[in-house]
Amino acid sequence: MKLDMIGLTVANMAESIRFYRLLGMQITDPEPDQKHHETVLPNGLRVAFDDVEMIREIDPEWEQPVGQGMGMAFLCDSVEDVDARYNQILEAGFVGRRDPWDAFWGQRYAQVADPDGNTVDLFHPLPASPAS
Residues 22-76 pLDDT 10s = 999 999 998 888 999 999 999 999 999 999 999 999 999 988 887 776 789 999 9
Closest CA to 8 of 114, 101, 127: 114
Phi/psi for 98 (5° steps) reads -150, 125
CATH number of this structure's domain 72-125: 3.10.180.10
Give the tens place of pLDDT for each residue, 80-93.
999 999 999 999 99
Closest CA to 118 of 70, 82, 85: 70
Question: Where do the structural domains in the chain lie, given as residue ranges?
Answer: 5-58, 72-125
Whether the Cβ atoms of residue 44 and residue 2 lie closer than 8 Å to each other: no
Phi/psi for 19 (5° steps) reads -60, -50
Q: For residue 78, what is the DSSP state?
A: S
CATH number of this structure's domain 5-58: 3.10.180.10
pTM (two decimals): 0.86
